[in-house]
Structure formats: structure tokens, C-alpha cells
Structure 1
Amino acid sequence: MNISQSGQFLAFNPGIKPADGGLPGLDVLKDVISSINLFGIIAVVGALAVSALVWAWGHHSGGHQAEANGKKGTVVAAGCALLLGAANGIVSFFSAMGTQVN
């Protein structure tokens, strides 16, 4: 059991940390993941455009169901764009949380 300087008990630390370059092909895997992220962002841009068009068409034609679906699609696409764009920062933030001990 680990005890900090303030006398509080800390969780057990097995001492394992991510090693950069530990496996062959890591650069290729990073390129593949980056490409998948790019394709996802491009698809979200298309989904956002289509959803906004459906929203506008439903609003101007009196189609309340189309308008509601366009709104939902726009919000979902915007949320996906936010998550795809921030994915690297989110993972970096939460992976560093375990290493900060006061």
C-alpha cells in the first residue's frame, strides 16, 4: 500500500507506463488512426450539411417531422465533430490524470 506525504492512502501503482515506439508498426498504426479520424470528420461535414438542408426544407415546407429530424441530425453531427476534433486532447487529458499526485 502506498502512503503519500500527507498520510493519505493512494491506490496501488504497478509502475507501468506507456512506452513510445515499443512495437514495430506503431507509426503505421498512428497513420491509419489519423486517416480514420480524417474520414470521420469529412463524413460529419457531409452529415451536417444534409441535416441542415433537411431542417431548412422541413421548416419552409411545413413538414414538422422533417424539421425535427433535421434539428436532431444537426445536433448529433455537431457533437460528433466536436468529439472527433477533440479526441486526441480528451485521451491525453484523461491518461495524464493518473500521473498527477499532489
Structure 2
Amino acid sequence: MGVFPDFGGVGAADDLRTVIGALLMFVLIIAVLMLIVSAIIWAIASSTGNPHTATKARLGAWVALGAAALSGAGVAWINFLLGVGERL
């Protein structure tokens, strides 16, 4: 008795790739917008002498930058994994 994987089990891999790519695109856009907003607040708070707000805005800028990098890498990672899954 031979046991083999069911290669037709994920029939909607192209649809899954499209949906995940669209969701990660929205995350990337929101992260970039938050990076811009945090950078503006960081600049204004630094120039007006408000160190607490400047620190929070700097942290927000770094978090937004990390989220943008992870979502950009996430698209490539998902495409790689779906490509590997199709070649099995």
C-alpha cells in the first residue's frame, strides 16, 4: 500500500496568493503612512522641546519601519512557500 500526498488538496493556491498579497499590501501602505506620521510628530516634538512625545514618536517610527520591512518580506516569503508547495 503506497501513501502519497494529495497534490490536488490546495486547489486555490493562486487565489490564496492573491488574497495574502493584497492583505500584506494594505499592511505595507498603513505602515508607511504611520512611519510618515511618526516622523512628522518626532520632528515637531523635538523642535518644540517635548522629549516625552519625541521618544514615543521615535519608537512609533521604528515600529512602523519594522512592520513595513516584515510585510514586504512577508510577500516574498509567502510566494516562496507557495512555489515550493507547488513543486512537491
Tell me the TM-score normalised to structure 1 length.
0.64
Residues 56, 28 of structure 1: CA spacing in aligned structure 2 closer, same or farther, 3 A cutoff?
Answer: same
Q: 1:56 aligns with which of 5, 27, 43?
A: 43
Q: Deviations over 1:33-71 (max 9, x none)?
A: 000010000001100000001100100111111100110
Structure 1 stretches of 4+ with a deviation exceeding 6 A read none
Count of aligned positions: 79
The 5-angstrom pairing of residues 1-102 of structure 1 reads 19=7, 22-89=9-76, 92=80
> Is the CA contact (8 Å cut-off) linking 2:45 and 2:51 kept in structure 1?
yes
Preserved CA contact (<8 Å) 2:21 2:75? no
Structure 1 gap ranges (5+): 1-15, 97-102
The one of the two structures with greater contact order (alpha-carbon pairs below 8 A, sep at least 6) is: 2
* Structure 2 unaligned regions, length at least 5: none
Return the index of the structure with the highest Cα Rg.
1
TM-score scaled by structure 2?
A: 0.73
RMSD: 2.7
In the TM superposition, residue 22 of structure 1 has moved relative to its aligned partner by: 3.3
